[in-house]
């Protein structure tokens, strides 16, 4: 088959594809023996699932609502009732100066990143080639292949702060964040996938100031953040200003299959995004917004995030961290401080095998993790650290996470020759 540049670029082996393939095959094979610590599926939280079931029944019981749910195309900006309710909620809760004109919906926030990245980076009409700058590597695997052109990202290595003998935290190294004429936007996830890092308010404010100074947007990926789904175990103030683009999602709340991404930005950006969305998708699916509308209107989504979702993941994080320390004892390992999201980022210093080899060995043992080398978009130079980390998801069944961590411990010790 003779493909265009686009066709060739988007059919290359992409990290995100291998991850979603692992996830899909594991689920499709129905193998009870596989321990899934790889993907980003949210945990099963009965209280959340009951609310979703109830909302679905309410929609089915009302013919007008059912028609609205499946029988009409909504506007390209997304369902208007949901957008209006969300604008009010965010004004009230976060004090953000926004209205419905500041919000656009996409088919998952993954689609929002694809559209936004390519709006702000790539070949420009003035002949320049702009890039998205990631101020703190490691970063989300899903960004890696989202550029329509090559050399799409630049990234800065972080400072590594050692918190205790086996715990570390990445910090933005502002000396390494070089913004040039070629920088189209800054982008950072907070909490960060894959590390569970939560950038401090200071770090985010400094990044926002830098972006403002260079007249480029700061894209804040808030898929796990505040005020919902609120998977944050430290203090973190949600930031929005005229120069910031905040991306949110209903996925980690428990609705990944409803594919609902939320973009908050100044009106000209939302208008542009809705225009591109119309060309690519006509409109955004309204399933997620219909399911979540009443939760947003009533503010119940905030209570759920605060009282149900955050404690669920905090407990999972604490237990997974304790198991990591138990099973890795005797190795030269470090756990990134788990401050949010649903991942442990494990660093095996001077590991004699690569993280990809470790991933393969764990897969043979029925444990699916993600090799850390995928999470460094924009880092071109060789850096051993890149081949020494793995990402482990702790959102699923606790007994399985325990068993999985035990097997990881055994395989890592074997690799170190312990
Ligand atoms: N951003 C981050 C940091 C993520 O981890 C994910 C999914 O795992 C996404 C964005 C995309 O999520 P969705 O497209 O389901 O909204």
Q: DSSP letter string over 185-223? A: EEEEESSPTTT-----HHHHHHHHHHHHHTT-PEEEE-T
The answer to whether 289 and 79 are in contact (CB under 8 A) is: yes
Residue 7 burial (C-beta neighbours within 10 Å; 0-12, 13-18, 19+) = exposed
CA–CA gap between residue 41 and residue 396 (Å, rounded) = 8
321 lines ligand 1 (CB under 6 A): no
Q: Separation of 155 CA from ligand 1 center, angstroms? A: 19
The answer to whether 392 and 404 are in contact (CB under 8 A) is: yes
Q: Please tell me the pTM assigned to this model.
A: 0.95
Closest ligand 1 atom to residue 193 Cα is 3
Element (H, E) at 258: none
Q: DSSP letter string over 56-103? A: HHHHHH-HHHHHHHHSS---TT--HHHHHHHHHHHHHHH-----GGGE
359 lines ligand 1 (CB under 6 A): no
pLDDT tens digits for the chain (418 residues)? 999 999 988 888 776 677 677 766 666 665 667 899 998 899 999 999 999 999 999 999 999 999 989 999 999 999 999 999 999 999 999 999 999 999 999 999 999 999 999 999 999 999 999 999 999 999 999 999 999 999 999 999 999 999 999 999 999 999 999 999 999 999 999 999 999 999 999 999 999 999 999 999 999 999 999 999 999 999 999 999 999 999 999 999 999 999 999 999 999 999 999 999 999 999 999 999 999 999 999 999 999 999 999 999 999 999 999 999 999 999 999 999 999 999 999 999 999 999 999 999 999 999 999 999 999 999 988 999 999 999 999 999 999 999 999 999 999 999 999 9
Closest CA to 312 of 379, 233, 390, 221: 233
195 lines ligand 1 (CB under 6 A): no
Inter-CA distances, 206 with 140, 213, 239, 249, 340, Å: 21, 10, 12, 25, 21
38 lines ligand 1 (CB under 6 A): no
Domains plus CATH for the chain?
5-45+306-416 (3.90.1150.10), 49-303 (3.40.640.10)
Ligand 1 atom 11: the closest Cα is on which residue?
110
39 lines ligand 1 (CB under 6 A): no
| Terminal-residue alpha carbon distance, the chain | 50
Ligand 1 atom 7: the closest Cα is on which residue?
40
Q: Separation of 195 CA from ligand 1 center, angstroms? A: 14
């Amino acid at each position: 088959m003779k493909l265009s540049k686009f066709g060739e670029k988007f059919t290359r082996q992409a990290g995100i594809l291998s991850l979603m393939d692992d996830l899909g095959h594991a689920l499709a094979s129905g193998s009870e023996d596989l321990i899934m610590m790889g993907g980003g599926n949210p945990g099963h939280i009965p209280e959340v699932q009951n609310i979703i079931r109830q909302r679905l029944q309410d929609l089915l019981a009302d013919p007008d609502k059912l028609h609205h749910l499946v029988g009409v195309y909504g506007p390209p900006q997304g369902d208007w009732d949901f957008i209006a309710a969300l604008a009010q909620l965010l004004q009230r809760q976060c004090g953000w100066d926004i209205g419905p004109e500041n919000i656009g919906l996409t088919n998952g926030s993954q689609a929002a990143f694809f559209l936004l990245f390519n709006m702000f980076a790539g070949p420009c009409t003035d002949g320049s080639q702009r890039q998205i700058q990631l101020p703190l590597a490691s970063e989300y695997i899903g960004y890696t292949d989202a550029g329509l052109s090559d050399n799409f990202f630049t990234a800065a290595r972080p400072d590594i702060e050692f918190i205790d003998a086996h715990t570390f935290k990445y910090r933005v190294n502002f000396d390494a964040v070089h913004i040039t004429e070629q920088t189209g936007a800054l982008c950072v996830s907070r909490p960060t996938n894959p590390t569970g890092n939560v950038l401090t308010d200071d770090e985010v404010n400094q990044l926002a100031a830098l972006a403002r100074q260079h007249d480029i947007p700061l894209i804040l990926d808030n898929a796990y953040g505040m005020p919902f789904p609120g998977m944050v175990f430290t203090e973190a103030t949600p930031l929005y200003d005229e120069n910031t683009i905040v991306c949110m999602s209903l996925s980690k709340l428990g609705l990944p299959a409803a594919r609902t991404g939320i973009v908050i930005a100044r009106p000209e950006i939302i208008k542009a995004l809705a225009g591109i969305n119309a060309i690519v998708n006509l409109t955004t699916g309204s399933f997620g917004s219909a399911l979540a509308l009443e939760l947003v209107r009533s503010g119940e989504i905030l209570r759920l995030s605060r009282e149900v979702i955050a404690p669920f993941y905090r407990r999972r994080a604490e237990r997974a961290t304790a198991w990591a320390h138990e099973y890795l004892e005797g190795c030269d390992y470090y756990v990134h401080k788990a401050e949010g999201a649903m991942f442990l980022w494990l660093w095996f210093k001077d590991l004699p095998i690569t993280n990809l080899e470790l991933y393969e060995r764990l897969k043979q043992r029925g444990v699916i993790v993600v090799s850390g080398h995928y999470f460094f978009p924009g880092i071109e130079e060789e850096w051993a650290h890149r081949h020494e980390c793995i990402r482990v998801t702790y959102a699923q069944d606790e007994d399985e996470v325990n068993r999985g961590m035990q097997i990881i411990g055994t395989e890592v010790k074997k690799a170190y020759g312990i």
